[in-house]
Structure 1
Amino acid sequence: MSDKARYFLEQSVPELQDLEKKKLFSKKEVTMIMRRRTDFEHRIMGRGSKPADYLAYYRYEKTLEKLRKKRYNRLKPIIDTKPSISDWASQRRVFFLFDRAVNKFPKSLDLWSNYLRYARKHGSVKVIYKVYTQLLSLQPRNVNVWLSAVHYEFEYNKNVKSARTLFKRCLRFNGDQNEVWFEFIKFELNYLSKLLIRRKLFGLITERQQREDLQENENTGKFDDDESGDMLTFVPDEEMNDEMNQLPEMNVSMLGSIETNPVLRGDLILTIYDICVSQLTSKITDDQERFEKFWLLSYEIIQIIDKFDVLDRGYLCDHIVKRLVEEFGDNAKVIVLQLTLNLRYLSLESDDFITGLQTSIKLYQSWMAKSNADAAVKEEVQKAYIAFLNEHYLNVAPEGELKSLMSLLIKKLK
């Protein structure tokens, strides 16, 4: 047996003695535990060891701890329940085991994910921060790891500012990945929706009420920055490239109302969108290829916005459509999107449906009459516009006066 393995095993002797002293395990069982740990240590210290060996060791320790807890609860009335080394030794041992594992196999995501899962289950915030710091330093191009860190900061720690900073730093390494931009915008939409719903539900009108609500529901990590092992410090802000520095300041004020604060209308989201499409299409020289990329990004973001009905979706989508018109105003897809925008969130049952439909048709007729577009483009717009009305309204309308009226309107457009 190597000196290192012997040393690690000797560290568990006080714990095993305590288990025997509390009569949770017999002397024979303690001997068997030591024998199993010796076998595992030989396996993981050997040259041919694999991540699976560490995971097998971890599963054994986890099962052993479950057995200890069951026996402790069953024998509680008759044993010494004063806290002692065996109460916390298992968790410390598992953390140490994972530290050794990821140091030896830093590319094994299976080890990292199990390490994080165990730390989360036991609420070990310091360990979680440490693991994310190491993992993101080793694998900065792994988008899933960044998104996992963001999810933890936002959902568990309620630290919105830190989650935003993580997204910004993720883009430092993965700015060419569509998924990161989509998730960033989805995060901002989700956060803004929750904030506005909370204020509406509790009637938070004054800035003092809103400030108290933010203090209660955000930035409530369990440790201060100097205690948490801040996972965000390994990529200094000055290392960000120029386009990433165009992103707005992340400590934005969320006080006020939609009428007085542009951030609450979604302007931060629109700024992220503008930078996204600029960065991802700036190096494309072929016009058609650039349009397809621009359209894919823009329409995907519109579809994400569609899901957040508590926000002013019309305002958000109007900005995106205007940007598309500025860049590709003669493209049939863009024209149809512009002509149908005011109908996008109106159903047949909406009070404003008739007015919205009339406005849309007037815009369509005006464009057809005044546009200098080619005949082929006009024909494509006509077909797509009529197909939109058929699919969204005529085909789903119940038999009656409204369906007959719509049928007549659509015939006039042909």
Structure 2
Amino acid sequence: MADVVQYRLERMLDELEDLEKRGIFSRTEIAEIVKKRRNFEYKLKRPSPLKQDFLSYIDYEKHLDSLRRLRKKVVSQDLKEQGIKKRKKKSSSDIAGVLRILGIFRLAVTRFKGDIHLWFMYLEYCKERGHGRMKKILPQVLRFHPKVPGVWIYAASWEFDHNLNVAAARALMQNGLRACPDSEDLWVEYLRMELTYLNKLKARKAALGEDSGALTRKEDVDDKQWRDENKDLFMSLDGEKEGVDGTGVKEGESGNKKDTFREQGSVILETIYNGAIEALPTSMSLRKRFLEVLDGIDLAHSEELKKKMMDGLKRDFGNKAEYWDWLARLQIGDLEKAKNMSKKDMLCQLNKAVDIYEEALESMPSTEVFSVYTNFWKDVIAPKGEDSQVFELADISDESVEFTSRLFKVFEKAESMGCITEDLTYHHISLYLELGRLEEARNLAEKFSNGKLSCSMKVWVLRVSIEMKWVTRESASLGKDDLRSVFGLLQNILSKVAISEAESLWHMAVEFFSNQPKYFKKLVEIFLVFLTKENEGDVPLSSAIVNYVHQKDGLQRAREVYKRFVATPHPSLTLYKNCIELESNLAFGGDKNALSNARKLYESALTTYKEDRGLWRDYYSMEIKMGTSKTVNAVHWRAKKILKDTTELLVSQNP
């Protein structure tokens, strides 16, 4: 290994001498460079080099080459000021850095052939440096990763944009589609490439004065972002009918040529679209992306093509709520671009979207349709935010009451058609709460929790929280009847479900009654009964109750409670650790009984969790800090007997 590293360092001699001779680096700096490179080379030559070793070496060489170029400019400027003619011929040091980085990349991808990210880093560096090795690397990537669509797109883009070889780019895309027929990106990029090529042909004709205009999207106020993302793709065929000299072109003279390009574009799109839906018949998103492309260009028979696509979408996806939701929101999507539309027209567009949802309910009444329908209205009503899809209707404040009323009608319709769900009910009740209509929310929650959704924890949690707000709406102080009412409600539902299913309700109850000793005690007793009866495993609520008792009633009461919890059939390890932490902290503070209690807890925990290494480690650590040599050795001997290997225990104490 040392011979190989030495050989590689000796090959750098000419480069380093040239750097010193030209005054770019000093002898001291070169010595430091050699030292760094030697360390990196040794790392690469070890039996199992890491990917990070290669990346660190590459990063170092990139920074070094950047520094070399900067210093070279400074040296050249100094020579110019001194009147010395600058040498234009490149020396060995000018190309050695790039070659070394490429060599390290080659070694890295040879070692980690399956790392696609590393291959792309290699390709990007070749592209950045304009190195001819790209044409050798691309076939290698395609050979090792034929199932990665991004590789085919990258290779085709290189051929199309850099080598200007449309035939090769087309062949790569078609081979990619054979290898990855289920890739949406490949189908869409293939279409974009073909239309871009057609656009270039059209632009060339226009530049030669044989045609006017090009394939572009129709002008729109809000198209800037779309143009930025697709700036080299499409220009409109029905743009200004002017020649290259600005003179008008007669419609009859250019019409046939224009129609030829528009017809070709239409045929290309239809052909690729048919192939795409044949390969991916169940992909709705792919068809939506094709529609976006079609909306962005001007082709012959574009309306007919769009109608065909829309009919196909309805035929194949008309039984899915996602389709109807997209179709309805498409009406509002057009509205976003109409900045000067009147209030009346905006509401008209909104009503069109509503009609689509109603049509969906007639053809396929389901919970999914009601879910997207209610989400639509919530998006219309909700204030504008980063993550909300609000459709520029926030300014129509006069209509907000009507919109809310219509949303309530959708909820009521879902109930009447038997399509009510837990989520719909939750949002229905939550809407009343958001509007400050607490009594109506309370009545609705009571109705559903005692009726169709009596087993829904989500609805029960909401109902209990509403009841708690109801009894404290006028005063923070609670009357006996209020306390009795809330406790009875909680007792009723908590007695029907397992602790793990109603954990959030238990937490609410513990927090609500934490200042009511009488009811809190009853709650703990109920919890203990269920804990014993159900033989629950890891229940974090036990620890929460111990902490509440410790804060409110003091240490002695907390010890009484956790001892009762520990005495249940299967106390959780989380409870043990929480109680041990409580006693350990007290022992550090000087409590005489705390250390003894902590040991008892450890011993109790180890009867159930004797194979838990973390428990033994914590026990051993506590004895190291607060015990005697006798207790430390005793714990270590027992741990070694059970775990066999106690290296982890000793290492953790010697950081």
TM-score, normalised via structure 2 length: 0.41
Partner of 1:58: 58
Query: Percent of aligned positions with the same letter in both sequences?
Result: 29
- 1:4-403 matched pairs, under 5 angstroms: 4-76=4-76, 77=79, 81=87, 83=89, 84-124=91-131, 126-189=132-195, 191=196, 194-195=199-200, 198=203, 202=206, 204=208, 206=210, 257-260=257-260, 264-281=264-281, 293=282, 295-306=284-295, 308-312=296-300, 313-321=302-310, 376-377=362-363
Kept in 1: contact 2:156–2:172 (CA 8 A): yes
Q: List runs of 5+ in structure 1 lacking aligned partners.
A: 211-216, 218-255, 282-292, 351-356, 362-374, 381-386, 399-414
Partner of 1:246: none
After superposition, the Cα gap between the structure-2 partners of 1:379 and 1:95, relative to the gap in structure 1 and judged at 3 Å, is: closer
1:118 partner amino acid:
Y
TM-score, normalised via structure 1 length: 0.61
* CA distance in 1: counterparts of 2:208 and 2:276, whole angstroms: 33
Partner of 2:539: none
After superposition, the Cα gap between the structure-2 partners of 1:86 and 1:275, relative to the gap in structure 1 and judged at 3 Å, is: same
After superposition, the Cα gap between the structure-2 partners of 1:89 and 1:294, relative to the gap in structure 1 and judged at 3 Å, is: closer
Shift of 1:75: 1.7
Shift of 1:45: 0.9
* CA distance in 2: counterparts of 1:333 and 1:40, whole angstroms: 54
* CA distance in 2: counterparts of 1:319 and 1:192, whole angstroms: 25
* CA distance in 2: counterparts of 1:99 and 1:144, whole angstroms: 20
- SS in structure 2 at match of 1:259: helix
Shift of 1:59: 1.6
RMSD: 5.0
After superposition, the Cα gap between the structure-2 partners of 1:295 and 1:58, relative to the gap in structure 1 and judged at 3 Å, is: closer
Q: List runs of 5+ in structure 2 lacking aligned partners.
A: 215-231, 233-255, 342-347, 353-360, 367-375, 381-390, 397-655
Deviations 1:223-256 (A, max 9, x none): xxxxxxxxxxxxxxxxxxxxxxxxxxxxxxxxx8
Kept in 1: contact 2:198–2:261 (CA 8 A): no
- SS in structure 2 at match of 1:49: coil
Kept in 2: contact 1:58–1:94 (CA 8 A): yes
Shift of 1:325: 7.6
| Count of residues in correspondence between the two structures | 326
* CA distance in 1: counterparts of 2:7 and 2:177, whole angstroms: 44
Kept in 2: contact 1:18–1:85 (CA 8 A): yes
Shift of 1:119: 1.1
Shift of 1:335: 11
- SS in structure 2 at match of 1:47: coil
Partner of 1:3: 3
Shift of 1:114: 2.3
Kept in 2: contact 1:40–1:57 (CA 8 A): yes
* CA distance in 2: counterparts of 1:337 and 1:48, whole angstroms: 52
Shift of 1:29: 2.3
Shift of 1:99: 1.1
* CA distance in 1: counterparts of 2:260 and 2:63, whole angstroms: 57
Kept in 1: contact 2:44–2:54 (CA 8 A): yes
Kept in 1: contact 2:152–2:173 (CA 8 A): yes
Q: Which has the larger radius of gyration?
A: 2
Kept in 1: contact 2:198–2:265 (CA 8 A): no
